Amino acid sequence: MTHPDLTIVGGGLAGSEAAWQAAQRGIFVHLYEMRPGISTGAHLTSKLGELICSNSFGSNLPDRASGMLKNELRILGSLLLECAQKTALPAGNALAVDREAFSRQVTEHLASHPNIEIVRQEMVEIPDGPAIIASGPLTSDRLSNAIADLTGENQLYFFDAIAPIVTAESINMEIAFLGSRYGHGESEVGDYVNCPFTKDEYNSFEEALLSGERIPLQSFEAKIEKGVNAGKQQFFEGCLPVEIIARRGHQALAFGPMRPTGLVDPRTGHWPHATVQLRQDNLAGSLKNMVGFQTHLTYPEQKRIFHMIPGLENAEFVRYGQMHRNTFLAAPIILLPTLQFRGRADLFFAGQITGVEGYMGNIATGLLAGINAAYFLHGEETVVFPETCMLGALCHYITHAAMRDFQPMKANFGILPPLSSIERMDKRERARLFVERAQSDMEKFLSNNTGI
């Protein structure tokens, strides 16, 4: 029997998982990985599924967003999760791995699969036949050009700066207030949450920013010389990290991203000395983005320093600010929740390039793309997981988010549809209900789709 062929570009987290899922379903996979011949600048080895930064896959607890996603991947038979569990290190409630052993196991499993051929070569064009592109946030320049040609240059983003996101419910609204500058917002109460600073609070905050520890710059973040990204600098004037603005002079922030003009604090009746503004980040409004707060501080420093912001003293961060090259598509415009490209049913995207963030989320989209590519090649209908499950919610988010503010998103409870109960409940109870609903919906989904 001959197997239908599928080309997968990128042997990282998403591409490796996708290759395994498709191969297990009787598809012959040509897995293209450009390393070790060509490096991304961040990867250090030739292994498949290499972890480029942290060795943690996040919480294992079933009532955390990341734990919920792991449970779904466990049920769906994820290879990479299995390798992570087998190479786990003691890390409390988190799933952290021996990174070398992890990627070795992934490589061995894929290399010994009879339906997988690993091709150590850079893919410079979009393959003509059925394919999954999983080339990651550091996609090579030549392939980036080809993707930009396919999707339109404006549909490929290179975000170097990402601001932190917090959950709306963790903001102290006894201090923060709703409002738009001079009342010019779309909604009557105001489109922004504003965190007001007194002069003393501002001075202490500025001092903390100036002395905060920053992540060292990596070589791959230097100016890019070729391709659609040509000429981009490490920092753009329009999106400088807040700690760099603070260095430009005392009060620079108060005249920049923290300017208080037109924002009357209802408790004082005056403009504060400075403000941090937060803007809605998801459809449900459960997540808020810290406007203009892109930063290169280390994560622990962000937690410490940003908790000094009045109203954010107990803020729960679902994403910290980051500065790095990050190639991703305008997924809300060009992808379907099945991860198929809208313009070509035989072309799928997976991993960070789709706008999903975090190791586990990237593995999850690889798993879905692998399953759906196999379905497609066998002439069956591709599937969409229930939106109430974390995998379904991630795919729904990236394909339905408002394009204006679209930024990569990791697994979190804020992207799930709200619970029907309107009663106030504590965080743990809410998490338990989210998990129960997801489990029940996943069971129903799998009993209706027995082929998965």
Ligand X SMILES: Cc1cc2nc3c(=O)[nH]c(=O)nc-3n(C[C@H](O)[C@H](O)[C@H](O)COP(=O)(O)OP(=O)(O)OC[C@H]3O[C@@H](n4cnc5c(N)ncnc54)[C@H](O)[C@@H]3O)c2cc1C
Q: Given the complex with ligand X, which of 143 and 377 has the nearer CB atom?
A: 143
75 lies in the binding site for ligand X (CB under 6 A): no
CA 29, CA 394: separation in Å to the nearest integer?
26
Closest residue to ligand X, Cβ-based? 12
Distance in Å, CB of 120 to ligand X, minimum: 9
* CA nearest to 10, candidates 229, 327, 395, 228: 327
Q: Does 289 bind ligand X (CB under 6 A)?
A: no
How far apart CA 219 and CA 138 sit, in angstroms, is: 12
33 binds ligand X (CB under 6 A): yes
Q: Are 87 and 102 in contact (CB under 8 A)?
A: yes
Per-position DSSP letters for 359-419, written without gaps between them: HHHHHHHHHHHHHHHHHHHTT-------TTSHHHHHHHHHHHS-GGG---B-S-GGGSPPP
Residue whose CB is less far from ligand X, 26 or 37: 37
160 binds ligand X (CB under 6 A): no
164 lines the binding site for ligand X (CB under 6 A): no
Told to check if 352 binds ligand X by CB under 6 A, we report yes
Q: Applying CB under 6 A, which part among 29-37, 264-272, 395-403, 422-430 lies near ligand X? A: 29-37
Give the three-state DSSP class for 74.
helix
CA pair distance 145, 253, nearest whole angstrom: 37
**For ligand X, which is the closer residue by CB, 235 or 271?**
235
Nearer to ligand X, 133 or 278 (CB): 133
Q: Which residues pair with 88 in a beta bridge?
A: 97
Q: With binding defined as CB under 6 A, does residue 43 bind ligand X? A: yes
State the minimum distance, in angstroms, from the CB of residue 163 to ligand X. 16
Task: Examine residue 40 and tell whether it contacts ligand X (CB under 6 A).
Answer: yes
388 binds ligand X (CB under 6 A): no
- 351 makes contact with ligand X (CB under 6 A): yes
> Exactly one of 80, 118, 134, 287 binds ligand X (CB under 6 A); which one?
134
Residue 137 binds ligand X, judged by CB under 6 A: yes
- Enumerate residues 248-287 that contact ligand X by CB under 6 A: none
Going by the DSSP 8-state scheme, the letter that residue 214 receives in this structure is B
What is the rounded radius of gyration, in angstroms, for the C-alpha atoms of the chain?
22
Q: Please pick, from the candidates 6, 8, 13, 150, the single residue that binds ligand X as defined by CB under 6 A.
A: 13
User: According to the binding rule CB under 6 A, does residue 370 interact with ligand X?
Assistant: no
Closest to ligand X by CB, 97 or 171: 97
- Is there binding between residue 123 and ligand X (CB under 6 A)? yes
Cα–chain center distance at 349: 14
The one segment of 46-54, 91-99, 154-162, 333-341 that binds ligand X by CB under 6 A: 46-54
Q: Based on the shown chain and the rule CB under 6 A, indicate whether residue 21 belongs to the binding site for ligand X.
A: no
- Strands of 228-337 (E only): list them: 274-280, 287-290, 317-319, 322-323, 327-329
Measure CA of the first residue to CA of the last residue in the chain; give whole Å. Answer: 22
Angle at 190 between CA 188 and CA 193, to 5 degrees: 150
**What does the DSSP assignment read for 110-169?**
HHT-TTEEEE-S---S--SSSEEE---TT--HHHHHHHHHHH-GGGEEE--EE--EEEGG
User: Total number of residues binding ligand X (CB under 6 A)?
Assistant: 36
User: Which residue in 34, 118, 156, 442 binds ligand X (CB under 6 A)?
Assistant: 34
| Interface residues toward ligand X, by CB under 6 A | 9-15, 32-35, 40, 42-43, 52-54, 122-123, 134-140, 143, 324, 326, 351-353, 357-359, 362
